[in-house]
Every structure is written in structure tokens, then in C-alpha cells.
Chains A and B, each alone.
Chain A
């Protein structure tokens, strides 16, 4: 009897595919991030400078907050396109409220409270439209993007809102605790909290079930609507927090803030392995995805790469990330 199937031929592609899959699922992003840091450090020694690294962290916090929110919504098999407009409206509202305040320490709390409350409202509206009216989240949040942007322009009359009390920017942008800037500290604490929420609480676990198989989640007794609404609320609140911190940093309320975060937040979440089809995504990987984009942009800045080319590079990275996700599914 002749054996027509040579073992080598059957083994090699499978092994190659397995190792590719291993890199795709576990190793690729951390490996690329390290590689990129090494390359930048060699080409441009200023990159590893302590103050520059802190700068990367400071610049990445806004995207980190928004990308975590986007990840939560994506895990529910939804999408939030309104995160950018949420940043803009929050900025305008927070600036108006604090500019009209006394300027004392309570104005910081006032600004924070107003911004976060706004986030809750936006999330509730988005979530209810998706959960009760069954509008696809793509369309629902595309619509709310327009509404929120319109509101921001109406309130600001198209001009930056100035006159924010100094203490607002001092507290939320420039001050440090133990040498770590407050926004970075906030980002780290919230990332840890979100990681625990998604992996160790019932509502967090329910989100994976709802995104992975909505019908099964319903039959298992999970309140699907409540879960989806909660995801949108968390996402909007995180976007609003980013809006507050960004306003404090810029020192004025701007209706033009945040538009680029829509694409970047999806890019960072997907780079971090979050599935666009729901049910899959791990928080710390999204943090890596954010750092990846942050380091890439910082390194290119140091190397004086023009912003036009930066735009192009980031687009290509996004496409590569999604392609890698598809490959992972095939492998």
C-alpha cells in the first residue's frame, strides 16, 4: 500500500498557520510596540527622554479614555460614532459653566459634574435609541453626532469659549501627584477600574454574552436592553471625561475638539484585538493599542514627519489591524 499523503506537506502549512495565529493573538502588538520604541530610540535619542515619555502618556490619556469606551460598546456588538461630538459638546458646556462660575475651587467640581452628567444623558439617549427603537447603532450615533455637533456650535456660536478660571486648568491639566500628571493618573486608575469591571463583574460579563450572542443572552435571562444602554452610558461618560480633561488642557471650550477620536478610538480598540462583531475584547490590549498609536505619532513628530504623512500612516495601520483580525478568524 502506498501512502499518498506525505506528512511534511500536511504539517508545514498548519504549523506555519499556528505560529502566525500565535503571533496574531498574543505576540504581535506587544512585539511591534517594543520594536517601534527601539527603532525610535536608536534613530532619535530624545525619544527615550523621561519628559518625552511622560509627554506620550499625557497625550495618550484622551484617546485611552475614549478607546476604552469604544471597546465596551464594540464588545456589545455596537458602535459609537458620536464620541467625537460628545467631546466637543462637553468642552463647550463645561467651558460655559465654569467661565460663569465664581472661579473658586468649587468651579472644578462644577465643571466635572456638568461634563459627566452630560455624558450620562448622551449615553442614555444613544443607548435607548438603539435598545428600544432597534435603530442600528451606526445610524443612531451618526445621527446623534450631527445633533451634538449642532448643539455645540449653537451654544458656542462657533467661537471658542474663553474665560475659564485658572484653577480649572491647574487642577485637571497641569498639576501632578508624586510627579505624575493628574490626567495620566486618572487614566491609569480608570483603566484598572474598567479592566476589573469588564472581567470581574456581572454587568461586564453580561456584555460579552450580549455581544457574542444576543438571543442566547436573552434566553439566559440577561436584561439585554439594560446591558446595551449601560455600555453606551459608560462610553459617553468616558468620552465626556476626555472632553473635560482636554478643555482643561486647551484652556477654552471648543466645538471643533475631538472629531479625530472617532476613527482613532475604533482603530485603537481593533488594534487591541477587539472584535467588530462583538463578544471579544480585552482591556489591557486596548491600552496597548492606544500606546501604539501614541508612540507612533510621538515618534513621527520627533522625526519631523509631516502631519499629512502621519495621517496616511495611521490609516494604513488601521487597515492592517482589521486585516489581521480577519486573518486571525481564518487561521
Chain B
């Protein structure tokens, strides 16, 4: 070896209050490579990132940048060293313009005032360097999330960036936007910027990564070279051979449980859908096609102007979340942090929230707290939720376990229809398998299940029937052997009827 690697992580360990989050992790990142970092939730990816960008300090071990050992006293030091990070939670000031956001924290000044001309130039340069085109003076808050992400990347690349850390950058992007982002990332690598790319999406790793390092339970497992073999990566991540992720039993659908007819709203156009007992109905579509609003309308979260919703034969005049839950329809929101959990309260409270009476954990109006905890505990056990310290605040659990806490809701009451909105976004392979098992079990038990997803393989893997939505309408209805990636994707993009 003649040249030093850009970053060498050597025997890094990190303990939090006696709990080991990382132990003895060593690997290297080369100049200009796209290095994927994978592992289940709780494997230590976030901890490692935070050490690299100076937020945490390693308990043991060292990090060398360009051959020289470095100690970061804070994020500023890492930034000076050329290590830039774009976290999953974006740091955008929605009220400010695109250009202002790009220069945030380092506004160019001229005699004490903001040099607007220079600021705009700088922003234009930064964006064209990414091959992106955004309106510089538009309010950042008015732009879609994918554009906000580009703003953040542009900001991260200001000055001399040598390593760009991207933490699940495509987690909340649609298919098209993800593709655009991936090409920007490859472009950056070609210019010599090393990329540490954290993701749960296997096909992205296959598409762009030069190497993959896998962590499991805080330990470094292996660095694999391209071309990637999905089965091997999954096996390394979960520590056992990857059997089929999807579970799909054969069953005969029964009576119609949920019938939506001619639904019209701000985003929906004449949408009709039927869900029968004992079947899983997939709803596919691009971001903004209205598939999420369809489920939200059924649950009373999205106001509708026309059409009807019938649940198990009963016409529902004005659906409301409380009313629909009472009738046995459960909606699991896609964004667990904003709509699923009370992050600052103990996890078990989020599990039983809204379900105290149907779960029979009250007596004469009072909560039976012991019974409540036992119930939460037994459901958590069934869903393999970890760690089992359910009195820890919800915010401290990983994405997959937070999702399981939200899914517990369907177990707290007698439900017959389940609407899953992007049930596996941002969760790890192991938790995904648990979610698919739950979905399949509900259908086996004669419940009606709707799975709304932007993930095509997921839709194909779990569904008995598939509706494809485009621009607020049902663009296609696929059954049996017609449920293929090609057919669904074709309906995504087919030209709108003339």
C-alpha cells in the first residue's frame, strides 16, 4: 500500500452508560469510493456516523484521516477535516430561500451586510456542481423533500469536502427522486469525494456501492466488494441464512369487508376499491399519486367530497379515526415519529394509547396499570420488539421497534380491516420479515389487509391483488400472474388518458 486510505477506522468502541453500542470496529474508506454501511437497526450505524462527524467521542480506538490520527472535539472539527454529514432529519429553515439555506451558517458578508449577489452565485455553483437545478430564490419549505435534500447536500459540500456521509438519504423519497439522487451521488464519487452511504435499500447498494461494510450488534462483520450478492449481505446483517423475506399463504377470500366507491377529494379522483376478508390488497404508485390519501380517507383523516365508504356492510357517513377504530378498521401511519408515537413518553403508553377500553385494561373508569403493562409486554413479545424495556421513552427505540409498537395497536382490539401505510420504510430486514409475517397472519385469520407501498418488491411479495394509482386515480387493477414489476411500473408512467 502506497497511499493511505482517506479514513481509517481502527478498533473503535463506544459505550453509553455501560451499554456497548460499538465494539472494536475497523474498516477503511478510500478516496472517491461509494462505501455502503449496512446493518439492522441498533447494529451501531448511527453511533459510528456520529463518531465520524464529531458528535460522539469513541470510548476506545482511533480514527485516521489521510494517515494522521485525529481527535474531534465537536462537529466543527470534523467539518474542518472535510467530513460532512447529511442526516435523515433535514436541517432546513423552511422560511428561508434555497440560496440562504445553502449558505446557512456561513453567509457571505460585504461590509457587515449579507452579500446577496455572492450568496446567489455560490448557491448556483454548488447546485450546478451537483447537476441539480433548483429555483434559488424559492422558499425552501415550498419545495419537495427531495429538493430540500439537495439543498442540504449542496451545503454539506461547501468548502472542501472529502467524505460525505449520507444517512438513509432516500428513505422518504419516491422512486424517481431516489434515482436522481443516486446519480448525483455517483457523480460526486467520480469527482473524488468519498461517500459513506447508509441505507436499508438493497437495490441501491447493488446499483451504486463499490464496497459494503456490514455491522451487526455493534460489531464489524465484513467488508464486501462489488458486485454485491443480496443474499450474502442479508445473511451477514442478520447472522443467519436469509430465507424468504415474504410469507404468503394460499387462501380463499371471503366476503367484502371494505368497499370504497367513487371517492373524490382534493387529491383523489373517482377511486373505487374492494377489500375482502382473508386477502392482502396492495396499493402501488409513485409519491403523490394519492395512495396514502386513499387509506387516510377510509380512516377519516383525509376529507372527501364524493363517494362512499362501506365497512362490513355498513355505510359510513362521516368516518373519524375513533369511529373507524371502534368498528374494527385500523390505520397504521407511514410516519411513526409524527403520527404513530408520543416520543417523549414511555413506549408502552404509545402502544396502549387510544385502546385502553377495547383492550379491557380499565376497571370502573380507572386504568389497571399492572395489566396494561403486562398486555403491552405480551404483545411486544409476540412481535419480537427489542429491547423489552417498554418504560423507556419511545424516541429511544430504533425505527423497526418503533414500528412494532405502532403495529401493536391492531392487537389491542378486535380488528377486521388493517390499512398499512408504507409499513417497512426505514426499518431493517429482520423487522421487515416480522411485519410481513404479521400481515400474512391477519389475512389468514380472515381479516382484510391493505398494504400501501412505494416498494415494488414489497407489493409483489405480499399482495393477492394490486391496485396501481396514478394522479389520484386507479390506473390499473392486477390479479394473479399479472402482478409483475413490469405491469405495475408501466401503470405508474403510462400517459394520462387523452
Contact = CB atoms under 8 A, between A and B. Distances in A.
B326 A219 contact: no
Interface stretch (B178-186, B216-224, B346-354): B346-354
Contacts of B59: 5, 7, 10
Contacts of B69: 2, 4
Given A5-B59, A219-B321, 11 more contacts: A1-B62, A3-B61, A5-B57, A202-B362, A202-B365, A202-B367, A216-B341, A219-B331, A221-B321, A223-B322, A280-B344
Given A202-B365, A215-B339, A3 B353 contact: no
Nearest to B71: A4
A222 B320 CA distance: 10
Interface of A: 1-5, 7, 9-10, 18, 196, 200-202, 205-206, 208-209, 212-213, 215-223, 279-280
B366 A216 contact: no
Q: Which 7 A-B pairs have the closest CB atoms?
A: A220-B354, A212-B342, A221-B325, A221-B354, A221-B322, A213-B342, A220-B353
Interface string B59-84: 11110000001110000000000000
B348 to A, nearest CB: 11
B345 interface: yes
B34 to A, nearest CB: 28
A217 B409 CA distance: 12
A196 B321 CA distance: 28
Interface residues of B, number: 42
B98 to A, nearest CB: 28
A3 B24 CA distance: 13
A212 B393 CA distance: 12
Contacts of A216: 333, 338-342, 350, 353
B185 to A, nearest CB: 31
Given A205-B367, A209-B349, A215-B338, A221 B355 contact: yes
Nearest to A211: B342
A9 B72 CA distance: 12
A319 to B, nearest CB: 23
B50 interface: no
A173 to B, nearest CB: 33
Contacts of A200: 366-367, 369
B10 interface: yes
Contacts of B62: 1-5
Interface string B191-223: 000000000000000000000000000000000
Contacts of A7: 59-60
25 contacts: A2-B62, A3-B62, A4-B70, A5-B57, A200-B366, A200-B369, A201-B367, A202-B365, A205-B356, A209-B345, A209-B354, A212-B342, A213-B339, A213-B341, A216-B350, A216-B353, A217-B342, A219-B299, A219-B301, A219-B339, A220-B353, A221-B324, A221-B325, A222-B322, A279-B344
A223 B356 CA distance: 13
A219 B295 CA distance: 12
Nearest to B326: A221
A278 to B, nearest CB: 9
B271 interface: no
A205 B338 contact: no
A220 B365 contact: no
Nearest to A202: B356
A209 B322 contact: no
B340 to A, nearest CB: 6
Contacts of B437: none
A130 to B, nearest CB: 19
A2 B63 CA distance: 11
Interface centre among A1, A208, A212 (most CB of B within 10 A): A212
A291 to B, nearest CB: 26
A4 B356 CA distance: 53
A4 B10 CA distance: 12
B247 interface: no
Contacts of A208: 342, 345, 349
B316 to A, nearest CB: 15
A220 B331 CA distance: 9
Contacts of B365: 201-202
B62 to A, nearest CB: 5
